[in-house]
Structure 1
Amino acid sequence: MKKDEPPLNFPKTLEEFEYAFNEKGQLRHTKTGEPFVFNYREDLHRWNQKRYEALGEVILQ
């Protein structure tokens, strides 16, 4: 972990990520309906990448 980087602890389920697939098979945020946002935390590319990978692992389960 880099200095000033948040911990790399991510949700373990789609529900915990607050995402779900809609009727068209699109991944959407459950509260906003928006598509997945890679740059969830500005200026934290490594953290965003790890979050993306964690979400991918959840989807593949």
Structure 2
Amino acid sequence: MQAVAWSFFGVRRGAEYEKDVARLNPVHVIIAGVIAALLFVLALVLLVQWVIGSGVASGQ
């Protein structure tokens, strides 16, 4: 999961990347990436709903 988290930020050392490629199962990385992306989108949706519901977005 740590490799997926670093990938979302786009920062990973070359040596660390090579270690990840050698030891991680690609299917697990894809599944973890999809789950992380879904959680990120869900967090954004909840944030937008909260902002709209609080009245901050109305500008009054």
Which structure shows the higher strand fraction? 1
**Structures share a fold, TM > 0.5?**
no
Q: TM-score, normalised by structure 1?
A: 0.34
Q: TM-score, normalised by structure 2?
A: 0.34
Larger Rg: 2
Which structure shows the higher helix fraction? 2
